[in-house]
Structure formats: structure tokens, C-alpha cells
Homo-oligomer: A and B are copies of this chain.
Amino acid sequence: MEEIAVTSSSHTYKIVIGENIRFQLKSFLPKTYSSILIISDESVAPLYINDIRSNFTEEQVFQTVLPSGEQTKSMDTFYNVHTDAINAGLDRNSLIIALGGGVVGDLAGFVAATFMRGIDYIQIPTTILAHDSSVGGKVAINHKLGKNLIGSFYPPRAVIYDVETLQTLSAREIRSGYAELVKEALIADQEFFNLLLKTDIQQVTAEELQSHLSLGIKIKANIVQEDEMESGVRMYLNLGHTLGHALEAELGYGTLTHGEAVAIGLLFTLHVSENMFSKQIASHSLIQWLKENNYPFKLQQLDEHALLLKMKSDKKTVNSKIKMVLLEDIGSPVVKELTDQQILDFLHSFNRKLVTE
């Protein structure tokens, strides 16, 4: 078992990583609560919700089980979970527990942030990707015009990461989560990156997985501690996400998982960086690794102009440049502005490069 402390502007919380720790929740809670609402989804609840309930007396605990998938991060679900919380009689001394992946974590965290102007919540992440989403306090739901547009910065009181729950993840969700670990390694840790490139992600042992998660979380935790509200270095965590988000939006959410889209985005980042800084960084070895681990990464069918538009969609004016996180080297991220034409040219050469792989 391992503990990592994160200090936010309002309080310090612990991230605990270990096996079977979902049965020892009480020892990680900062205080006792008047009642508890567990929020989970239809895939995770049948597997683990009773384990979580077993930590508390029955009268104290309520649960809300939501459909699995990104569409659950909607305004309607948000309102309905508030209704459930009111009907369960939650008050300002109640606790919300987010049991699931990033979807459940983002939604439940935003409910906690806004129920009676904010109550405590903890994250019990059950996907690899959620090592990222459960740390740092970003919570949100989607607007029909864009992802994560309605939300808050609202850190949890604890993150209890029971790696045993990750055993039931599909191969695809393992891939999705590992892409964010690769991202963190690229931002901050050459050695970690080398270690990941030696990993067959479908064959990792529990110890290896725990150690990868811990390395990734430490990188993320350091960055969010330094810049909680994303006015500076936290932007580095968007490495690979400019194209990643555009791909998700352009293909329709669910076609690629978030991590699969980010993996392609990371490759693109390396492609642009290597060209801009006239040096090899890690394109070639990353492509090989993505292939070995069955990541989808061809995008010849995609229209470059359409992607460009999506990459700019969170920008105000049509003529604004795109800010991208690039790498001067592994561990040395920088933010650069690129013109539309540069982006189009890079998308074009990137596409050609992937086709020949």
C-alpha cells in the first residue's frame, strides 16, 4: 500500500493505492458522516458496490446506479442524482462516494461540489484512466456543445485506489488508461517512459500496474499542486489532447476511447515537436509500442480541415492560433502557438507517415 498526499487550496487529501483496500474505507475517511451516497454505473456496481457498502451500516448508505458511458455526464443525469440525494435525506455532513471510472468520478464530483453548495466526496477509481481523472479536483459534466464545459475545481477528501478492481477491465479500457500514463511519462520522466515501452500492457502483474499508476499519479499530483486552477503548468497535462479531443469529437464519442484518441494525439505531438525542433524524440519507438499493444492509429479517412476546425472549437475567434503543448525533449514540455496552415501541413505529413507504418 502506498500513500501520496496532495495539497489543494482548500485542504490536503491522500491518494491511497493498494490491493483490497476497498474493504478498509473507514480508516481513510477524515471524519464520520451523517449519511453516504454511493454513485456508480451499471458495469461497476454489480462487481463492487456491495464491497463498498460493507464498510458502513445499512441505514447510513444509499446508492444511485447510472448507465455506463459518456452520455451519463449530462445535465439531466446531474439533476436526477441531485433528486436522489435530496430524497435520501443527504445533508451538509453527508459524503458522496464516486465508484467507477472517469465518467462516474466527474459527474459525482460535480454533484458533490454543488449539493447544498458543496459536500465532501471521495473517489474510488476503478479504471486505469481514472488515475488521472480522480486526482486534481477537476469535475464536470458535458454541454451539448462541448465536453466538460460545465464544472468546478473541487478536490476530493480522499482517493482510494484499489488496484484489484482493475482486473475486470476490458483490454480496450486497459489501453485507454495506459495512454494517459504514457502522457505523464512524456511530460516528466524519461525513465518511466522507457519502462512503459518495455511493458506489454495486457500482461502486467498487479505489482507492475501499481507501480506504473503510482509513478503517473505522482507526476499528475505534482503538477496540480503547483497550478490547481490551470493558469500555468497544468496546461502541460493537455499533451496529446488537442488532436485527441478533436478526434473524439469528429468521430463521435465512443468510436475511440478517450485514451485511444490521446495516444494518436501523443504521436502527433511528437511528430510536430520533432519537426519544429529538428530532432528525433520518440516517434518511432512510440509507434512500435502502440502497434504491439493494438492501439488503433490510422486516420487516413479523416478530413484535415474538419479536424482543424474541431481543434479550434474551444477558441473564441476563427482566426486565433492554436496553442499546443509540444516537447523539446521527453520531460521538457513547452506551449507553442501554431497557425492554421502549420497545423494543416503537420496533419497532412502525419497522415502520410502513419499510412506507411
Residues of A within 8 A of B (CB): 9-10, 34-35, 75, 79, 82-83, 86-87, 89-91, 113-118, 138, 140, 143-146, 148-153, 229-230, 314-317
Contacts and interface: CB of A to CB of B under 8 A. Distances in A.
Contact of A116 (B79, B87, B115, B149): B149
A149 B115 contact: yes
A149 B82 contact: yes
A248 to B, nearest CB: 18
Given A9-B10, A138-B117, A86 B143 contact: yes
A153 B10 CA distance: 12
B86 A145 contact: yes
A153 B117 contact: yes
A109 to B, nearest CB: 11
Contacts of A150: 82, 114-115
A229 to B, nearest CB: 8
The 10 A-B residue pairs with the shortest CB-CB distance in the complex, in nearest-first order: A89-B316, A117-B151, A86-B145, A114-B150, A75-B79, A91-B316, A117-B153, A117-B152, A82-B150, A82-B143
Given A35-B316, A117-B138, A138-B117, A86 B152 contact: no
A143 B90 CA distance: 14
Contacts of A153: 117-118
A247 B146 CA distance: 41
Given A83-B145, A316-B89, A114 B151 contact: yes
A56 B143 CA distance: 29
B316 A146 contact: no
Contacts of A315: 91
A69 B146 CA distance: 30
30 contacts: A34-B316, A35-B316, A75-B75, A75-B79, A79-B143, A82-B143, A83-B143, A83-B144, A83-B145, A86-B145, A86-B146, A86-B149, A87-B145, A89-B316, A89-B317, A91-B314, A113-B152, A114-B114, A114-B150, A114-B152, A115-B149, A115-B150, A116-B149, A117-B138, A117-B140, A117-B148, A117-B151, A117-B152, A117-B153, A118-B152
